Structure 1
């Protein structure tokens, strides 16, 4: 999806429905599109803030201004990438609200680390599990666990309207990067199936426009991932191949700044295929068909 023309509405609230407002942080990049979108859910009697975004003083000040006199009852994070959760601590300090939602992420493997993308300072007061409810005076948010993009990723369903806040699990502008060792393609596909079966009315992602036909979108995402699997298997039918070569052939025309991210998703597919005994690793960065 092409970038929309500037100016973008950073620091301003947009009313999406009676209980939902959206504010865009000023952190655009090839990985965040126009920036991270923070959602204010509820009314003057009490609000939840979903994905407070980066620790950026202008964004936090704009959120505090938009909140006004309404009590903030919960600061909720879908996951702990640095464009989503670092704003939680300063917002909590300013409002006194508890930080709840995803767990703090701890990587226990001995392989290549992915910590650079994560907010290691994130410290939730309460960790939510699948099906947990957060009750506001005017709204109820239900936790929907969706591991895959990260192992701690959550979505939040607004019971009163049928909206789902999808974080990075489903985005309105691009496919989601699944980056091992924490990102897991097997879990991601299971989570997509889970959302497809839910039948939500609308998705509000952390990046990109709202998604008005959620099931159609998720069905297309599942098909896209299966297509990537088939591409990988076809490439390996002709002999061993490296991830770098696969990326150049699978993603023609892709912005070179995104090649590494695409390579991480290819690796996630290969790990998933390896678990299913369809491919094998022949060398450090050389893959072959199994058998």
Structure 2
């Protein structure tokens, strides 16, 4: 898309450059955004897919400067595969989200897992990497995936939100690795912060992050209420719930909606509000 050029560095602020990968899709929007932090030495956040054109674009931005860390928010194939050729090119360690192997028999509605992702250092809540004039502090934000991390840049009060909070859509929460209760708790955690701006993995920078996060919490609570109202009418399988809840939805996004409805149902089931019987869901007695 002309308005979203791939491979062109965009200076978001003095410490942050964004490069868009050429992997646009109904699930990645215009593509995965790689963020390069620093001036004299660098961190590369979510280098994206193993795409030669994207790697060449990153090399042009790096321009021979030392890379202190290749930082990963989570292990989906649109975020982490380029860690390996980038490490070969720069010698930098891969740090961030824990590795995770999952045999998920359910329909994948978002980018699938990167089975070859192996970090040199796993970061947990409060861990950090730093360079000349910058620090990236890990914030555990599970929900979209069990190992999802966001990264705060305290020098400018920016937050790299990965896929937990995006600039174009609510994130997919796809069980069993995705967990709706964890996702909501992670949104609550971000509400307690005072970050100035979010730089997401997909979509534009979020200039009023607290307002957006509040709206996302409200949206998920609205969907939960919608499910409960429908199940009070009658027991329903997930495809019927999706057709009633997402009228006019692009057919390509129906699998994603079904996975998020399932995540809501699992959360409601854990809370004793609904139960499953013979492939249908109903209000718990």
TM-score by length of 1: 0.95
Q: Distance in 2 between matches of 1:60 and 1:32?
A: 18
Task: Give 1:116 shift.
Answer: 7.5
| Residue-by-residue CA offset, 1:38-93 (whole Å, 9 max, x unaligned) | 0000112x100000000001100110111002100100010011000001000000
Are residues 77 and 21 of structure 1, via their aligned partners in 2, closer, same or farther at CA, if it must alter by over 3 Å? same
Q: 1:72 aligns with which of 67, 70, 73?
A: 67
1:203 is matched with: 198
Q: How many Å separate the matches in 2 of 1:82 and 1:98?
A: 19
2:192 is paired with a residue whose SS is helix
Show CA shifts across 1:233-286 (max 9, x none): 000001100110111111112110000010000000000000000000012x20
**1:34 aligns to 2:30 (yes or no):** yes
How many Å separate the matches in 2 of 1:27 and 1:271? 31
User: Does 2:144 match 1:149?
Assistant: yes
CA displacement 1:106-144 (0-9 Å, x = unmatched)? 2378x6486971000001000000000111111011000
**Residue 135 (str. 1) matches residue 130 (str. 2):** yes
Question: How far apart in 2 are the matches of 1:8 and 1:169?
Answer: 21
Q: Deviations over 1:212-233 (max 9, x none)?
A: 0010000000000000000000
Shift of 1:6: 2.2
State whether residues 113 and 181 of structure 1, in contact with CA within 8 Å, keep that contact through their aligned partners in structure 2: no
**Matching residue of 1:122:** 117
State the partner residue of 1:212: 207
Residues 1:290 and 2:284 aligned together = yes
- Residue 43 of structure 1 is matched in structure 2 by 39
Unaligned regions of 5+ residues in structure 2, if any?
Answer: none
- Secondary structure of 2:160's counterpart equals strand
Whole-angstrom distance in 2 between the partners of 1:203 and 1:8: 18
TM-score, structure 2 length as denominator? 0.97
Aligned residue for 1:188?
183
SS at match of 2:272: coil
Give the alignment partner of residue 15 of structure 1, picking from 11, 14, 22.
11
The list of structure 1 runs, each at least 4 consecutive aligned residues, that deviate by more than 6 angstroms after superposition, is none
Counterpart of 2:267 in structure 1 is 272
Runs (5+) with no aligned partner, structure 1: none
Distance 1:22 1:116, change over 3 A: closer
Query: 3-state DSSP class of the match of 2:19?
Result: strand
| CA RMSD, Structure 1 to Structure 2 (Å) | 1.4
Whole-Å Cα distance in 2 between the matches of residues 180 and 254 of structure 1? 21
SS of 1:194's equivalent in the other structure is: helix
Separation of aligned partners in 2, 1:239 and 1:34: 39
**How many correspondences in the alignment?**
284
Q: How does 1:71-110 map to 2 (within 5 A)?
A: 71-107=66-102
Residue number among 229, 245, 253 corresponding to 2:248 in the alignment: 253
Q: Secondary structure at 1:241's aligned position in 2?
A: coil
Tell me how far apart the structure 2 counterparts of residues 113 and 262 of structure 1 sit (CA, whole Å).
11
Aligned partner of residue 43 in structure 1, secondary structure:
coil
Please report how far the alpha carbon of residue 208 of structure 1 lies from its aligned counterpart in structure 2 after TM superposition: 0.4
Question: Residue 134 of structure 1: SS of its match in structure 2?
Answer: strand
Counterpart CA distance in 1 for 2:169 and 2:107 is: 24
